[in-house]
Structure formats: C-alpha cells, structure tokens
Structure 1
Amino acid sequence: MLELAVKTLRGRASGFAGAFVALFGAAMLVTAFGILLQSGVEAGVAPQRYAGVPVAVGGAKSFEVRENGKTKSKTLKDPVPLTRETVRKIAATDGVGEVVPDVSFPAVLATDGTTPAGHPWSSARLGPFDLVHGRAPQRPGEVVLDAGLAKDAGTAIRIQTTKAAAEYRVVGVAKLSGVDGELRTPAVFFADAEAESLAGRGDRVDAVGVFPRPGVDPDDLADRLTSQLGSEAEVTTGEDRSRIENPDVASAGSTLREIAGSLGGTVILISMLVVASTLAVSVHQRRRELAVLRAIAATPRQIWKMLAAESLVLSVVASALGCLPGILAAQLLRGALVLIGVVPSDFSFSVGILPMLVAVLTGVATAQVATFAVARKAASVRPVEALSDAAVELPGISGGRRTLGVLLLLLGLAASLLPVFFSGVFAVAGAGSGGLVMIIAILLLAPPVAAFATRVLAKPITRRFKEYGFLASANTRANARRLAAGIGPLVLAIGFACVQLFIPATLASAAADQADEGITAQYTLTGAAGGLPDDAVRDAAGLPGVEAATGVTRVQVFASTKVLDSPEIFEFPAQGITVDNAAKTMDLGISSGNLAELAPGKVAISTSAASTLGVNIGDQIKLNLPDGFAATPAVVAIYQRGMGFGDVTLAHEDVFVHSVRQLDQQILVRARPGADLEAALTGLSAKYPGLTVSDEAGLSDEQRDAATASVLSSALPLVLVFAYIALAVANTLVMTTLARTREFALLRLVGMTRDQVLKVLRIEALTVVLTAVAVGSAVPLIPLATVSLGLTGSPIPSIPPLLYLGIVAATALVGAASVLVPARFALRARQVDAIGLRE
C-alpha cells in the first residue's frame, strides 16, 4: 500500500500540494513553540559570578497548598531566600567541603547612574574574583569594585543601596577569573556584615555556593543535596547555575514556559483543524477517482488504507522539512521578545532534536486523524451510488457534525455570558475560552453558515452587480461546501486574533483608566535600579508643603481556596504600601471596610478577588507571599479599582520581609493646597541618584512598560499562529480555485470573456470576505463585551481601531488574492484543453 501511495503522490503532486503546505506549516509552528518551551527549561545564559563553584543552591521554585488531603503546587516567579536552617543542612550533607552564602541587593553609583549589584566579599570566591589591586573590604564604608566599574572610579564613590546614597572608600579592585570584558551584571563587594544588613534578608540568604570535598564528584553531590533538601531548595550544576545567579534569566525562562504552555495546546488544535480542512478539500476534489475505485470493487477498508498510506508518506516528508524553518521562526520570535524586554539580549534559545521529533509525530498523528475523519464517508459509499454522488456536490453536513457544532456553539455562548452573572477570575477566563469554542463551532458549521450568508447577500449583490452578481450568487449557493472551505479559516483568523488581542487590550485600558481616576497625588517619584529606598518616603513626607507620601512596591502573590473539594491557586498582582495616610494619595474605590485599618498581617482585596475567593470583610484568606510564605491575613477592606492598583494590597513590611523587593518602585506625593513641590522633590536626587519627578497621575512608566510588554509577549507568538492561519486560508482557496479550471473553461466556451469570468470571481471573493469578516467579528464580540462588562461595568470593550482594521485588511487581502491570483493562471489555459482536464 505504501508503494501505491508513493506512486499516487508522484502522479498527483499538484493535488497534494495544499495538504503538503498545511503539514509543512504545522510542523514549523510546533517546532517553534517546542523550542520556546525547551529554552524556558534550560539555562539560556552561561554563569559568570558562580562559574567557579561546582554546585549552586537557590531557594524553592514552588510551593504547595493542601485541601481535604489533596495537594496542588504553584511555581514562584521570584527567587526565594534560603533559611539558615537550610544552609546548615547543606553544610552537613556528606561530601560537602565548604558552603559560601551569597546575598544580592541593588546599588546605584552616583557618578554615572550605573546600577550594579551589591554582594558580600566572601561570595567573591564563587567566581572566583581575584584582587588585582588593594585589599578586601573589612569594615562598613569600604567596597571593592569589579574591574569594569573601577575604570572611572577614584578612591571614594557615592553609592545608593537600600539606604540613601553614602560615600564609600574604594579599597580594592577585583577581576573575574577567565572573563574578559564587562560582566552582564557589574558587582560591588561590601564587608560581609554590612552586605547582610543592606540586603535586608534577616537570617536568610539568596543562594549558597557549595564546594565538594576533594575527590567528590559535583554531580553526585548535587544528587545527594537534592535528596536531602527535597522541595526546600533548587540544586544546580553546569549551565543551570545561571538561573540561581541571575534572577532575570530565571524569570525569562518562566515567561517562555508560560507562553509555550498557554498557546501550545491552541497551536496544536489549530494545526489539526487546518490540516483536517485541507485534507477534506483534497479528498473532496478526488471524489470522482474514489468513486471509480468503489465501482470496480475496492472495499471501504482498502480505500481508507490507501488514503492513510498517502497521508503517512506526505506527513512524514512535509513535517520533517517544516522543522528547519521552525528553527528560524523561533529565532525571529526570540529577537522580538528581546526587543520588548521579555528576554535578556544574551539569552540563547536551545535548539534540540526533541521539538522536531514532537513536530513530526504531531504532524503524522494529525494527518492520520484528519484522514480517518474525511475519508470515512468517501470510503463507505455503496458502489452503485458512487459515480452519481461524485458528479454533484452534496449539500449540507452530517447530523453528527451538525449536532457537535450546535452543542459547542451553545457551550461557548454560555461560557461567554459568565461575566454577566458572576465576577472574578473564573468568569473572565471562561468568557475568553467561550469565544474560542464558538469559533471552532463556526468552523464545524461552516457549510450551513456559508449557505445562509449567500442567501442573505444574494439580493443586494444581484442588485448591485446585475447579471454578474446573479451568476456569482447562484454559483456560491450551489457550492456552499466549497465556499465554506474558504470562509472557515478566514473566520478562524479574524476571531482568534480578536479574542487573543482585544481581551488584554481591554484589561490594559481599564487598568490605565482606574489608575488615572484613583491616584489623587500630584507627584510621582521613581528611581533607578528598580526603585527608591524606604528612606526616600520619609524624606519626601518631611518636606515643607507635603501632605502625604506613600511608597508603593508591586509584586505577585498567590491566594488559594477550595473548588469542588480540591485546592485551587490564583495569582494576583499586589501592591505593598506605606499605610500612613495612604488614603490621601490613592483612592482605591473602597466598597466596604476601611483602608485605614490596613497593617502588617492585614489585607485589602479587590471585588474581583473577593468574589473569586468567596470572602468578605473580617474573613481570613489563604495567601502565599512572593517567597511562598503561607499567611492568613484578615480582610479589612474591599475595593473596586483592582486592575489599576492590583487585586491585593498589603502593608509595606509584609512585602519587604517576604520578597526580594527592598525598594519602592513608586512614591506618591500629595501637596498641601497651593504648594509647588517640584523643585524640592527634585532636590532629593542628591541623596537618591536617578530619582525623577513626574506631575502626571496614573500608571507609572514601569507599569505601562510592563503592561505593554505583557500584551506584546502574548501578541508576538500570535503573529506566527496568524501567519499560519493566513497560509491555510491561501492554501485552501488556491486549491479550490485551481480545481475549477474546467468550470472556467466551460464558461469561456459558452461565450464569456476572460475579464467577465474574473469579474464574477471578484464578486465571489467579495462574498467570501464579507461573510468571514461579519462572522469572524460577531462571534468574539460577545465574550469581549461580557468581559468588559464584568471588569469595567461597561459592555464596550477596548478595540484599537487601527489594529482591528489591520486584522481585517490583512485577512481580506489574503482571501481575495488567494482567489483571484490562481484564477488568472487557470484562465491562461486554452478552453478546449482545459475542458478535458482530469479532476
């Protein structure tokens, strides 16, 4: 059967070109997202400061919650400090020779605004850093600079750390062994005691470098440590040490895994739909050939085996070839993610054999499933009916497909309406998923949808285009299934893009509006190296004319609750604020409770979070702070502006103690009536290098950049998906158009000119595009409106007009060109030759 399949593929190469392109594109897409996932798992950047220590140990990367004996874990985004007890366990493990704790904290050089990281001098061994000049720091006020920083420094330098800028004496210069040029993160070394104080970790450390005893293999020691520590810590060797050394590398890996995980399933589903649709068109075009085989006694099993063998050969070849451009697509995606700041510029993607193997297996499996689905009907036709069935296109769709499509449509509609009746994370997520389910339902119901659309458009098109419109309308009504093959992918392209892009746009717009309305301070202070020390809040509050000053630090926290007797964990954006007079600088839109009662061990939450968790004023919530610490704070206030300020508001102290954050990202300053504070606030830059003063309320630049990066990091991978869908649209329409060569020849033979045929085709293309735009825009409009209603109280979502027009224009251009360009080629053939072409 394989030999027959190969001969058939050779003899009908043009007929299989469409399926080949669909499988080729699917493999490219799966390979690109597989590389994204694999790169998120691996290090991406070589270690530098930890290059000299064989084993590096960092804090736990996840935490667990339990409900009714059931456990669920969640990955943490920020590095978690290690307790001294864990450090003692590490030191006591058999084979450990020496442990070297390390802490890291931000530092800003007043001379040029450079933002290195501060470390204790004892951690210099981990590089190792060798002194090339001077001595080690021995007391507070002394530092050693790495060679890259020391070039422009003198014997004294002003440095802002987690405290206001102070003058430090440069007592030495160190160079990282084996590294030429500047470090990816410059280092300033302080005396150990001072470094621990400035880091603010208390009795905890960021990481531990482990030196084995002589003769002990580092990998064996790492296995022992992993067994000893369990989930308390992450033990790394080799390139993986970079994740412990560089928090930005660990964060980038987490983001890549999230992108690949959230879109990977969707990518495979879309690939299956596209491949199935293309193979359906291919088999449909061969119905006369299959009918002849049935008429000469081929059994259904033989037909199915022949089609399955053809798909197997085609999918293996196409998928294998598609892996190579998938590597290029992944690298292009990496460049785009670097450009928007989601991935560090020196982060390398990992290209291995596994993503390619998965792509090939996925392509083969998808082709076989699709072949079974589309060949089942063709193979089961009775021989006496075969030739008559092949002569005409059968209207309608099977009862099973219609039932499944209607059920999915109703299910998607019900999910899309959830925000109307409920608030919280579940409702919003359900509405977004409901939109995608409805789009898939429309794909299943495409033939009746296309037939209905042609009936609706028939009169206006005939009235507008006269006899050409009549002929085009009659043709589309008689060939609704062929029309649906083009409309389905177009609807998928528009609907998928609208759901995936406009829900984040609505969230971002609502957040900006709430921040604009809720910040009542006149001035916003920001700083370099991630923020300003807490001292800056007190200094700002003490200036003449200042009514209130509030420090704000933003982190991610996790709240858990019981859902259907199992634990469920939700991630919420949170802010830690200095609670004194916070109500004078921000209006959270308190709906119940009192923000003035906020204190360490207490919490204020948004109405969305309260609904998701099912709590009210006075209730305790199960909260895991950024370091995974489990807390049960009592709710003292519930507010409405959660998108602008974060769904959880904590006291400053709770955030600083349980996160790596030791700086305020933003200080909100409210002036007394008539006071002009800009000059006085700007004067604080002498103590806080990099301090900037803004008199604009709303989201900070960092928040806006983060929101933009979040939207773009979701949108950029969609470019690959959208491009594949566009390819599928073009592929399908080109196949169906070229298959009409005999039809065009017949029209020419009965007296139509080439231009007249093209005019009819332009009207058909217009019908396809209008139907796809109308359906593709209407379906996602329902979940978009309900999400906006649930989040903002308004049913009008945020749809950037230029972005929407760009999506529609690109889709329409692809659809029209895919009909008209191949039609011009088909019309070049002589009519008497074309009318005799085989199917």
Structure 2
Amino acid sequence: MFALVLKTVKERKSGFVGAFVALLGASMLITAFGIILQSGIDSGVPAQRYSDAAVVVAGKQEFSVTEGKSTKTKALDDAVGVPRSLVAKVAAVPGVRQAVADLRFPTQLVDKDGGVLKGEDGEGALGTSWPGSVLGPFHLVGGRGAERPGEVVLEKSLAERAGVKAGGTVRLATTQAAAHYTVAGVVEYRGPGDGLRTPPVFFSEAQARQLYGRDDQVSTIGVLAKDGTDPEELAERIEGKLGGTPADLYTGDALSSVENPDVASARGSLKELAGSLGGTVILITLMVVSSTLALGVHQRRRELALLRAVGATPKQIHKMIAGEALVISLLASVIGCLPGALAAGVLRGALSVIGVVPDDFAFSYGPVPMVAAVAIGVATAQIAGFAVARKVVAIRPVEALSQSRTEEPTLGRARVTFGVILLVLGLAASMLPLFFGSIFAVAGAGSGGLIMVIAILMLAPPVVGRATRLLARPFQRRFGTLGYLAVANTRANARRLAAGIGPLILAIGFASVQLFIPTTTNEAAKDQAAAGVVADYTLGSDLGGVPVAAAGDIARLPGVSAAAGVVRTKLFASRKLLDSPEVFDYEAQGVTPGKLDQLFDLKVDKGDLNGLGASPDTVALSSGAASTLGADVGDRVRLHLPDGAQQESKVVAVYRRGLGFGDVTLPHDTVIKHSSKRLDDSVLARLAPDADRDKVADGLSKLAARYPGLKVADDEGVAQEKSAMAGLVGSALPLVLVFGYIAVAVANTLVMTTLSRIREFALLRLVGATPDQVMRMMRTETLMVILIAVVVGTVVPLLPLITVSVGLTSSPVPYIPPLLYLGIVAATAALAAAAVLLPTKLALRSRPADAIGMRE
C-alpha cells in the first residue's frame, strides 16, 4: 500500500501542492510561535554584574492562592526584594565565603544642562552599593572604593562619559534631589559581553541604604563560594537553611534573570504572547489544513469512486489517504521549520524595536519547537485525512460513482449540528457584556466572536447559497449574461465556492476580532484618561521618573492648592469561585491621598475617593473590577501587591474610569512599599483660583534645579494614548504571522478551486465563448465572492464588538479605525482577485480541445 501511496504522490504532484503549501505554512507558524515560547522560558543575556557570584538569593517571583483543595500560582512582574535579616543566615551556610547585600535603585548622570548623560547605545546607569562590586569582575583602575556618604565609584565608561577621573566630582540624579558627589575611584569591567548593559554607580553602603529607601530589605543577596564548592550543592544548602522563607535561588545562566529585570519581563511577555495565541494558532492551522485536504480529496472524488467501484475496501481507502497525508505532511513540516525559524528571528527584531524585548535579547533556537511543529503537522494531517476518508467510504460504491460528477446536495448532519452548536455558543458568549460587567464577560465576548467565525466556516455552503440567491437578481441586472453565468456557477457549485470564501471570511473575521476589540479598549482608555484629569499641570521627568519628595515640594509652592504623586504598577486580586481560587491581574496606580477630587475625576459611582489613605489597607476599584471581585463599598477584597504580599483591603470607592486610570487605585505609600519602584511616574498639580501662573511657573523652574529633568509633561490622556498604542502594536505584531498564514491559505484554496475548473473553461470556449468573455465572467464571479466574504466577515464579529463596547464604554459604537478596516478589506480583496484571475488567465492559454481532455 505504501508503494502505491508513493507512486500516487509522485505521479500527481500537482494535485498535492495545495495540501503541501497549507502544511508547510502550518509548520512555519507553529515553529515560530514555539521558538517564542521556548525563548520565554530559557533565553536571555549573560550575567555581568553577578557573573562572579556562585548563587544569588532573590525574593520569590510568584505567589500562590489556595481555596479548598485547589491552588493557583501566578508569576510576579516586579522584582521582589528579600529581608536584610537573611544575609547573616546565608553567610553562616557551610561553603559560603561571603554573603553580600546588593541594592539597586535609579541613578542617572546629569549634564550641566540638567539632561541625562547616556552612552552611545542609549544605556543609562544603575545605582548600587560598593560592597556589591565583588559580585562581578570589577577592577579598580584609579582611586579607591566609596567609603563615606557623598562618595561614588564610577564604572570606566561612565567616567569617560562624564569626563571625570578619580578625585573629580559628578552630578547624579537619584531617588532624592540631585546632588554632586566626589568620584572616589573608577573601576573597569572585565567580564562577559561586549560591554555593560547598564553600567553601575557604586555608592557607600550607608548612602546606598538611604537612597534605596527600605532599611529592612535588600534587592538580592549575592553569594561568593569557597574554593571547590559546587554552586548547585551550595544553593541546596542555602535553601535548606532558609527554611520556609519565600525566596528564589539562582545559579549559572539563571543569574541573568535576577540581574536584569527587563530580561525577566521580556521572558514573561513572550510566554504570555505564545500562550494567548498558541491555541488559536493550532486551531487555525487545523481548520486550514483540514479544509485544504478535504478540497483536494473532493477534486479527486471521481478517482476515489472508481476505486470503490472496482473493489477497493473502506480500510484500503483509509490507509491510502492516511499514507498520502503522512508523506505530504512529513515533507512539508520538515521543510517549514527553517522559514519558521527565520520568521521568529524577524519577529524578534520587530519586538525589540517596540520595546517588548531588549535589543540584546537572544532567542532560543533549540530543536523542541521544530520537533513539535513536525509532530503537530503530521497529527493534524492524519486527523483531517481520517475525517475526509470516513466521509468518502460512507457512500456506497455505485452511489459514489454517480455523485462524483455533481455537487453533494446537502452538508453532513454532524457538520451542520456541530456548526449550529458553535454558532449558538458564540452568540451566547458575545452577549455576556450586556448582562455582566466583569472581565469574564469581555473575554467571553472576544472568544465568542472567534467561535462564530469558525461556526460560519462550518456552515459556509448554506450561507454562501443564501447570499448568492440574494445577489442573483442585482448581478443579473448589472452584468447581464455574464452575471447570469456567474450566478449559475455559484449556485451549482456552492460547496466549491464556499471552500474559497471560507478562508476569506476567516481572514476578515479573525482580524476584526483580534484588532478592533483592542482598538475599542484603547480608544476608551485614552478618552477616559484625558477627561479624568482635572489638574492644571502634569509633571514628568526625562530621567525616568520624579523623586517622591517632589510632590510635597510642588504642593508647597505658592498658588498650588493640591498636588499628588502618581506611581503606576501591576498587581493581582483573587476571590473564591466554585470552591476554587480565581486570580485576576490589574493595572493599578498609587496616588498621594488628600484633595484627590481636585486632581482626578474618576466618575465615582459609590463612596469617596478622598477616603483613600485613611489607612494603608484602603483601595478604590473600577466598576469592572468590583463586579469581577464581587465587592462593594465597605467590603474587603484580597489583593496581591507587586511584591506578592497579600492584603485584605477595604473598598472606599467604586469608579467608572478604570480603563484610563487602572482598575485599582491605592495609597501612594502602599505601592512604593510593596514594589521595586522608587520614583513617581508623574505629579499632578492644581492651582488655586487666584494663583499667579507666572509665579507658579517660576517656582517649578527653581524646583527643576533640584530635580533635573522635571518638566510639564504630556497630559495623562496623551500619555495613556501613547501607552495604549504601544500595547496595541506589541499585541498585534505577532498576529502578522497568523495573518500571513491565513493569506497563504486564502490564495492556496482559491488557486486550487480555480485550477479545478480548467475543463469547465474549455467547455465554455468550445461552445463559443471567447477567452475575454470567460475572464469577464470570472471577474464577475470574483466580485461576488469578495462581496459575500466582506459582508459576512464583517457582520459576524460585529455583535461581540458592539457588546464589548457597551460593556466597556456604555456606547454601542466600537472604535474601528477606518483606514485599518479598509486596509484589511482591500488586502483580502486584492489577494482573492489575484488568486482567482491569474490562474484563470494561465488556464486560458491552453487550447480548448487539449484542456477538455486533461486528467483531473
């Protein structure tokens, strides 16, 4: 049987091209996303500041919630510190030569004009303590260490950037007001990499503790091992000594993650990206491959019917189709791995440009994603082949032969039933935001849109048939005889036409759901942020943030009636649902309590925002978060702060503008205490009614001398718009690979259906039609195909878009950027036209008498 399969594939190579292309694209797509996932697990950059450390002890980068017998664990985005008391415990472990408390905090070199002195590649600086210099290959090349407050040791590239040597002075912006420091010494880095990613500024230990701001905590504990001590064994000993203290231990290549928070964040983003799209990618490839294989077998139905008529058993037909699927899928999947790896590399570059991953973040190109792509490709082909073969052998041989030249009158009962069930489920899910205000409803509506698109693909033949009947009369009136022929063809071959229209609907529907829900959300967030800030000034800094003390100084300026620092972060909240914990991640902000109603208009529905800060455990929630958590004013909600600390917070207000300001608003000091952030993102200031704006502006200018880079920044609305657009680009960029695969599937299917009509074109020409008339007929038919696909592909996702818009903004009008929508439609239409008309023109080059006798 296998010899027959190989011979069939060899003799009918052109008949398997469509399936080969679909499987090759599937392998490419799965390989690319597999590499993204693997890179999120084990890629990164080499350790530098910690490259001499055997072990580094850091805070636990995850937390767990248990309800009943169920436990859920979530990874934390923020870098979590460890108690300073652990330093002595770690130092006492056998095999430890030295345990060093390492501190990290924002620091920048300031030039004479108050700007940041950055390196050639845009790198800034990092503040740390001089004792931590022993954890990396830093060698004094001038002066001595930082021993007293007011002294620093600069890394050589920083010293050259500032134009100073040991004994000189340099101005530094830190977590406090900028100040001049004496350069006690200069060190040179002699370790891995072409240069330091973030050159350190070493402060004396006492001053580093002051600038770090948490005397009871350190960023990490670096461990130097005694000679002959194995790092892994030492890590096990330290872990045993720590007992139940929540901490993570890092050795070897993992040291990079704790040294570089941006690398850890990039890994998390890649895992989230691959996880959120991985299932959709596999589902789309399964559908495309299945439909392509089904179309290929459908075009061979006369051959298969003949085999059945001359005695081939159902088992033999199954084995033949399975063998063909195995050969084609194995070959296509293996070849597709290489372009998949190249596509992942291109995507890495694009993600780097928009800031999702650092410039020096290297992807991991191990064999696992490629093996997985081949396995999934082969399994998908076998599943699709089995379904197709089962349908072929279900018909009796004589009936199969008689039906081989005509379209099947109806869809199979199972397909119709499954399609209707999916459609009903999609409709139900899409309606959720109308009845529930929680995050579940919005997520359910988005999934409902995709489910409905899939349902329409399954029910495409009757949908296309109904659409054709609606278009019949207008097309016949507008295009005359050509319109009549186009309508007759589409009616007689509805299933063939549906095979071509289905991928077009998928392209438009999938793009609409994936792009227009985020655009609707982001537009609403921008509008809320712009309308919700009633302050006269939004102040920011070019140095990466504003020192916390600046808000108080601004509030004391004559003419300023209220000022508050704003610090943004992410946190989690959890609740019990059905005896199981559910954990939700939220954007949050910390604001300085007092007179908040003079700075914000969050559209408070219940409670009082000024009640925030009455105690550290108060919180204000958006209406969506309150609904999701089942909380109201006066209730307690379980929050998991950026460092993983659990806090039962009392709800003091519920507001509507959660998209623009985050779903959770906390007291400013609570966020600072439980996160690695040491600077405010912005400061809002409100002027008194009788304030002299010139005097206030003069006061702000004087403060800029203390806090370099302080300036009137973009208002919160513009800042939110920029952040939202960056998020949209970051989430949409990987979809380019999916859209590309769908585009290939569209072209592939339409080319296959068009080339299968060569004999039909020849027959038309033999009865008197000219090549130009055939081309005009096909242009008319293509126009009908595009029109049906655009209308159906637009209408199907419109319901979830409307309900999501109602749920998020109370408006039934989603934000659909006109140019983006027109671009999707135009690209789809152009692709469809090219995939139909170019093969038609090629087919018409053959003489009709030769074409009519061609083998199927």
Q: So what's the TM-score if we normalise by structure 2?
A: 0.96
* 1:218 to partner: Cα distance: 1.6
- State the alpha-carbon separation in 2 of the partners of residues 282 and 341 from structure 1: 43
* Residue-by-residue CA offset, 1:290-315 (whole Å, 9 max, x unaligned): 00100011011100110001100110
User: Which residue number corresponds to residue 121 of structure 2?
Assistant: none
On the 8 A contact 2:526/2:724 being kept in 1, the answer is no
The letter for the 2-side match of 1:537 is A
Q: How far is 1:227 from its partner?
A: 6.1
Task: Give the equivalent residue in structure 1 for 2:103.
Answer: 103
State which of 674, 684, 698 in structure 2 corresponds to 1:668.
Answer: 684
User: SS state of the match for residue 248, structure 1?
Assistant: helix
Q: 1:183 aligns with which of 171, 175, 196?
A: 196
Distance 2:684 2:718 in 1: 10
Question: Is residue 113 of structure 1 aligned with residue 113 of structure 2?
Answer: no
The amino acid of 1:145's aligned partner reads L
* CA deviation vs aligned residue, 1:749-769 (integer Å, no higher than 9, x gap): 000000100111111111111
Return the alpha-carbon distance in structure 1 between the equivalents of residues 842 and 237 of structure 2.
Answer: 69
- Which residue number in structure 2 is paired with residue 330 of structure 1? 344
Q: SS of the counterpart of 1:656?
A: helix
CA distance in 1, matches of 2:295, 2:535: 62
* CA shift digits 1:4-59 (9 cap, x unpaired): 11111111100000000000000000000000011111131111111111222322
Residue 283 to residue 180, structure 1, CA distance change in 2 (3 Å): closer
> Residue 384 of structure 1: which of 390, 398, 420 is its match?
398
2:410 paired residue number: 396
- What is the match of residue 647 of structure 2? 631
CA distance in 2, matches of 1:610, 1:625: 17
**Quick check: 191-200 or 320-329, which moved more?**
191-200
Q: Which residue number corresponds to residue 618 of structure 1?
A: 634
1:689 aligns with 2:708: yes
Alignment of 1:366-385 (within 5 A): 366-385=380-399
* 1:646 correspondence with 2:662: yes
Partner of 1:601: 617
User: Which amino acid in structure 2 is aligned with residue 39 of structure 1?
Assistant: S
Deviation at 1:700, TM superposition (A): 5.3
User: What letter matches 1:744 in structure 2?
Assistant: F
Q: Which residue of 2 aligns with 1:9?
A: 9
Question: Which one of 125, 133, 138 corresponds to residue 124 of structure 1?
Answer: 133
Q: Does 1:421 align with 2:421?
A: no
Which secondary structure state, in structure 2, belongs to the residue aligned with residue 391 of structure 1? coil
Q: Is the contact between residue 60 and residue 231 of structure 1 (CA under 8 Å) also seen in structure 2?
A: no
Offset, 1:86: 4.2
Deviations 1:475-496 (A, max 9, x none): 0011000011011111111111
Aligned to 1:496: 510
Partner of 1:526: 540
In structure 2, relative to structure 1, the CA distance for the partners of 1:180 and 1:422 (3 Å cut) is closer
Match of 1:315 among 309, 326, 329: 329
Query: 1:189 is matched by which residue type in structure 2?
Result: F
Provide the rounded CA distance (Å) in 1 between the counterparts of 2:291 and 2:89: 59
1:83-133 Cα distance to aligned partner (Å, 9 max, x none): 234445533444333222211000122215134110000110111211111
Amino acid at match of 1:217: D
1: CA distance between counterparts of 2:702 and 2:347? 43
Cα-to-partner distance string for 1:525-557 (whole Å, 9 max, x where unaligned):
111343111111111111121111110000001
CA shift in 2, pair 1:646/1:171, >3 Å: same
Q: Match of 1:699, SS?
A: helix
Cα contact 1:109–1:689 (8 A) shared by 2: no
Q: What amino acid sits opposite 2:700 in the alignment?
A: L
Counting only pairs closer than 5 Å after superposition, residues 251-650 of structure 1 correspond to structure 2 as 251-599=265-613, 600-650=616-666
Contact map agreement 2:574 2:629 (CA 8 A) in 1:
yes
Contact 1:43/1:243 (8 A) holds in 2: no
Q: Distance in 2 between matches of 1:181 and 1:690?
A: 30
Residue 173 (structure 1) aligned with residue 186 (structure 2): yes
2:116 maps to a residue whose letter is: G
Please give the secondary structure, in 2, of the residue aligned with 1:345. Answer: coil
CA contact (8 A) 2:526 2:718 kept: no
Match for 2:152: what amino acid?
Answer: V
Structure 1, 581-590 or 216-225: larger mean CA deviation: 216-225
TM-aligned CA distance change 1:698 to 1:532, over 3 Å: closer
Does the CA contact (< 8 Å) of 2:96 and 2:224 recur in 1?
Answer: yes
**Change beyond 3 A, Cα 1:683–1:182:** farther
Q: Say if 1:37 and 1:450 are closer, same or farther in 2 by CA, change over 3 A.
A: same
For the Cα contact (< 8 Å) 2:47–2:192, is it kept in 1?
Answer: no
Using the alignment, how far apart are the partners of 1:757 and 1:201 within structure 2? Answer: 79
- TM-fit CA distance, 1:183: 1.7
CA contact (8 A) 1:681 1:693 kept: no
Contact 1:300 1:379 in 2 (8 A): yes
Report if aligned partners of 2:52, 2:224 keep a CA contact under 8 Å in 1. Answer: no
**Cα contact 1:43–1:242 (8 A) shared by 2:** no
Alpha-carbon offset, residue 176 of structure 1: 1.3
State how far apart, in whole Å, the 2-side matches of 1:38 and 1:291 are: 46
SS at match of 1:795: coil
Change over 3 Å in CA distance of 1:317–1:89 after alignment to 2: farther
Q: How many Å separate the matches in 2 of 1:748 and 1:86?
A: 88
Q: Which amino acid aligns with 1:657?
A: K
Q: Is residue 822 from structure 1 mapped to residue 836 from structure 2 by the alignment?
A: no
Change (3 A) 1:145 1:737: same
| Residues 531, 717 of structure 2: 8 Å contact kept | no
For 1:305-333, what per-residue CA distance to the aligned partner results, in whole angstroms no more than 9, with x for missing partners?
A: 10001100110100000000001100111
Are 1:657 and 2:694 an aligned pair? no
Identify which of 762, 766, 775 aligns with 1:745. 762
Change (3 A) 1:373 1:550: same
Aligned residue for 2:57?
57
Aligned to 2:751: 734
Measure the CA separation in 1 of the matches of 2:365 and 2:716. 42
Match of 2:207 among 189, 194, 198: 194
Q: What's the CA shift for 1:460?
A: 0.6
Alpha-carbon distance in 2 for matches of 1:682, 1:19 = 68
Out of 178-187 and 508-517, give the one that drifted further. Answer: 178-187
Q: Please state how far the C-alpha of 1:420 moved relative to its aligned partner.
A: 0.4
Local SS of the residue matching 2:733: helix
2:159 aligns with 150
Task: Indicate which of 807, 813, 818 corresponds to 1:790.
Answer: 807
TM-score (norm 1): 0.98
2:216 matched to which residue of 1? 203
**Counterpart residue number, 1:699:** 717
For the aligned residues, what is the CA RMSD? Answer: 1.5
Q: Which amino acid aligns with 1:49?
A: R
Change (3 A) 1:43 1:98: farther
Alpha-carbon distance between aligned partners in 2 of 1:136 and 1:234, rounded to the nearest angstrom: 30
Taking the aligned partners of 1:469 and 1:201, their CA distance within structure 2 comes to 78
Query: Offset at 1:681?
Result: 1.9
Cα deviations across residues 246-294 of structure 1 (Å, max 9, x unaligned)?
1011001100010001001100000000000100100000100100100
CA deviations over 1:430-469 (Å, ceiling 9, x no partner): 1001001101101110111111111111111111000100
- Pairwise CA distance, 1:226: 5.2
CA drift of 1:343 comes to 0.9
Q: CA deviation at 1:186?
A: 1.7
Which residue of structure 1 aligns with residue 849 of structure 2?
832
The answer (yes or no) to whether the contact 2:566–2:590 under 8 Å persists in 1 is: yes
Distance 2:267 2:698 in 1: 42
AA aligned to 1:105 is F
Please say which of residues 41-50 and 248-257 is displaced more in the overlay: 41-50
Residue 821 of structure 2 is aligned with which of 783, 801, 804? 804
Instruction: Report the counterpart of residue 763 of structure 1 in structure 2.
Output: 780
Q: Which amino acid aligns with 2:234?
A: L
Question: What SS does structure 1 have at the residue aligned with 2:52?
Answer: coil
CA shift at 1:679, angstroms?
Answer: 4.0
Matched residues in 2 for 1:226 and 1:650: separation? 34
